[in-house]
Amino acid sequence: MTNRQVRVTELPKGTLKQDNFELTEADMPAVQDGQVLVKTTLISIDAAMRAWMQGATYRAPVKPGDAMPCYAISEVVDGNGTKFQSGDLVAGESVWADYAALPARGLMKLPKVEPLSHLMSVYGIAGKTAFHGLVNVGRVIAGETVLVSAAAGSVGGFVGQIAKAFGCRVVGIAGGPEKCAWVTEELGFDACVDYRDPGMFKALRAACPDGVDVYFDNVGGQVLETALFVMNERGRVVCCGAVSQYDTDAATGPRNLPGLVVVKRLRMEGFIVMDFVREDAAALRALQTWVASGQIKVTEDIVEGLENAPAALIGLLAGENKGKRMVRVAADPS
Amino acid sequence: MTNRQVRVTELPKGTLKQDNFELTEADMPAVQDGQVLVKTTLISIDAAMRAWMQGATYRAPVKPGDAMPCYAISEVVDGNGTKFQSGDLVAGESVWADYAALPARGLMKLPKVEPLSHLMSVYGIAGKTAFHGLVNVGRVIAGETVLVSAAAGSVGGFVGQIAKAFGCRVVGIAGGPEKCAWVTEELGFDACVDYRDPGMFKALRAACPDGVDVYFDNVGGQVLETALFVMNERGRVVCCGAVSQYDTDAATGPRNLPGLVVVKRLRMEGFIVMDFVREDAAALRALQTWVASGQIKVTEDIVEGLENAPAALIGLLAGENKGKRMVRVAADPS
């Protein structure tokens, strides 16, 4: 039996390209003490993966020759004497491969949910990131105006729908008129502004007549700079990502920082989803409630086949996805 | 009787210059209903005054032809039927002039303190800004490392001394070896790094072997960018000012924002001293305690004569002062 892997050939300079990766065939991984053998079901595709290729972040940097690391849902093939049994469904850090040997202590057993992909979207990192960022960092209150960038993306779409459920005015920022229309019509945002429009600043002012109280920032860069101009005093900027800065070697800083932070008494705060693990149960209960009531629509963008993982990530960085993007490597276990 | 005023001739483009101001002689101001006539004693010279000349901040922008606005301590000459009596000492917004007619509701009666200048430094906006920023925004804790820029300036010097009183390791950033030596030797900081030194980043790393938990930022720009690299996870950036960005028309943004805010889960928060007026009594009691114990040395830089106010501000923006700078317009009232 052989095992397909996608490895990083060399780290990208500038825009990520197909030839930064290669598909290889290797022997089945050797399973060491404390590890389990898993078969990959679904791989999460996230903008942050590009940041991992830029150096140390909240995890070790990716190195040339590595199988590309990822977050994945897998089925246990061999529990190897750990707490996991064969057939268990687990989630955790893995690699772009059909099979992987993973440390048991890094894995979490998953419940059986229909469809399984919801554990990767609304009940996974995307939904929990949206909830914790908006509620526990942004401390959103009914009646406030919430602005969110990458609004058609996995996290942004949930942020806006959660903010609507809270009773906020919700404005998105997305790339292109088609995505903007989808964000308002499909996801129910009050308005959505196209960041590629040269008149973006005016459009943003018009969409936010009472200013912005919480800006959920997934992109950084110029969009952040523009958003700071429409923030209200005592506004909060939830710093979740900086996707505009990842796939480039010419990052720029917002020129109105820290000036406007002082003048408007803003709070900018970064977080990652693991910071709020104690609040996960409450978040999941809230998300289930809103899915059941129809206040959250779950939109997923599933790419078929391990061999298409590089293109899936490259396309995500270029903004081609709507909703949570993932790669299906194998059918859901029965 | 005539009244000298310093007026703004035209708004500065780039660096502030002497000919942006003119000294004029005018009639004594006419006192309207609700106003009092005051005689200026001490004028506060603050970097923020340059920001007021760039457009709207937390106050209305300065316009050409205006007498230069300022914060001042004055003696009431004519209470004009308001709650103030002639001879009262008052503080509040005023202008660069010997005499001014000011709305009574904008003024605060001051206690008689020896020396009066302490009401402008440690017991004034500088001391309260340092206290509220470090304690109420930065939430500093004993054992942490506190970094402060403009460490030889009015606010920065108090920030470092208060942090020492709390039991922190305190590192300053200042301009030039002479100022750095003064900050460590006179103010008792553990170390001080020269921002003009091309090896600043390495020097900062060496001065902060355990990283930085609270960075009190008075300057923004490149120094902020460098400081973000040495921040610890969960660190707090207290945004008090952006003096590097005021006296220029070529402001630059920190390129590592918001990337490092996300990765390190930082909190950046702006404030102005008026936000914490409810906590002023507690702040003043703490400051008096530390002055009495010798843990805070009060350093003041008093420039004599209204006519020297423009040079005092220009010099402050160029970084020539040590401690709180003010202009004496008249002797302390007896």
Chain A residues within 8 Å of chain B (Cβ atoms): 51, 57-58, 217, 220, 224-225, 237, 239-242, 245, 251-272, 275
Give the range among A53-57, A159-163, A223-227 with minimum mean pLDDT.
A53-57
User: Does any domain span residue B334?
Assistant: no
pLDDT, residue A318, reads 92
The number of C-beta contacts closer than 8 angstroms across A and B is: 111
Query: Residue holding tokens 């305190």?
Result: B170
pLDDT, residue A287, reads 97
Residues A145 and A254 in one domain: yes
Shortest alpha-carbon distance between residue B187 and chain A (Å): 26
User: Does any domain span residue A160?
Assistant: yes
User: Does any domain span residue B333?
Assistant: no
**Mean pLDDT score of chain B, rounded to an integer?**
95
Ramachandran quadrant class, B310 (left: phi over 0; alpha: psi -120 to 50; beta: rest): alpha
**Inter-chain touch A256–B253, beta carbons under 8 Å:** yes
Residues B70 and B106 in one domain: yes
**Inter-chain touch B261–A269, beta carbons under 8 Å:** yes
User: Does any domain span residue A121?
Assistant: no
Q: Is the pLDDT of residue A249 over 80?
A: no
Helix, strand, coil in percent for chain A, rounding step 5: 35, 30, 40
Query: Residue holding tokens 């003041």?
Result: B300
Residues B45 and B103 in one domain: yes
Structural domain count, chain A? 2
B224, B263, B272 member nearest A258 (Cβ): B224
**CATH code of residue A101:** 3.90.180.10
Q: Is the pLDDT of residue A60 over 90?
A: no
A79-116 pLDDT tens trace: 999 999 999 999 999 999 999 999 999 999 998 888 99
Inter-residue contact A254 to A225 (CB < 8 Å): yes
pLDDT, residue B251, reads 72
Q: Is the pLDDT of residue B1 over 90?
A: no
pLDDT, residue B58, reads 80
More confident residue, B3 or A111: B3
Q: Is the pLDDT of residue A269 over 80?
A: yes
pLDDT, residue B293, reads 95
Q: What's the whole-model pTM score?
A: 0.88
pLDDT, residue A160, reads 98
CA distance A91 to A71: 7
Judge if ipTM > 0.90. Answer: no
pLDDT, residue B73, reads 97
A254, A263, A269 member nearest B257 (Cβ): A254
**Which residues on chain B are in Cβ contact (under 8 Å) with A250?**
none
Shortest alpha-carbon distance between residue A264 and chain B (Å): 7
**Inter-chain touch B265–A258, beta carbons under 8 Å:** no
Residues B139 and B15 in one domain: no
Residues B178 and B286 in one domain: yes
Rg of chain A on CA atoms, in Å: 20
Residues A132 and A244 in one domain: yes
pLDDT, residue A246, reads 81
Q: Is the pLDDT of residue A279 over 80?
A: yes
Q: Is the pLDDT of residue A136 over 90?
A: yes
Q: Which domain holds residue B148?
A: 125-293
Inter-residue contact B220 to B47 (CB < 8 Å): no
**CATH code of residue B239:** 3.40.50.720
Shortest alpha-carbon distance between residue A2 and chain B (Å): 37
**Which residues on chain B are in Cβ contact (under 8 Å) with A259?**
51, 220, 242, 245, 251
In chain A, at which residue ranges do the beta strands (DSSP E only) sit?
2-8, 21-27, 35-44, 69-78, 89-95, 99-103, 108-109, 145-149, 169-174, 191-194, 212-217, 231-239, 267-270, 300-304, 324-328
User: Does any domain span residue B105?
Assistant: yes
CA distance B87 to B20: 34
pLDDT, residue A1, reads 80
**Inter-chain touch A242–B224, beta carbons under 8 Å:** no
**Which residues on chain A are in Cβ contact (under 8 Å) with B240?**
262
Name A27's Cβ contacts closer than 8 Å, sequence gap at least 6: A2, A3
Q: Is the pLDDT of residue A248 over 80?
A: no
Residues A268 and A154 in one domain: yes
**Which residues on chain B are in Cβ contact (under 8 Å) with A264?**
270
Residues A145 and A269 in one domain: yes
Residues A237 and A281 in one domain: yes
Query: Chain B: residue nearest A241 by CA?
Result: B262
Vertex A66 angle, CA A99 and A61, to 5°: 120
Q: Is the pLDDT of residue B165 over 80?
A: yes
Q: Whole-angstrom distance between the N-terminal and C-terminal Cα of chain A?
A: 22
User: Does any domain span residue B230?
Assistant: yes
Query: Chain B: residue nearest A252 by CA?
Result: B255
Residues B24 and B155 in one domain: no
Residues B314 and B193 in one domain: no
User: Does any domain span residue A106?
Assistant: yes
B253, B272, B275 member nearest A252 (Cβ): B253
Residues B249 and B189 in one domain: yes
Shortest alpha-carbon distance between residue A328 and chain B (Å): 28
A51, A251, A270 member nearest B264 (Cβ): A270
User: Does any domain span residue B47?
Assistant: yes
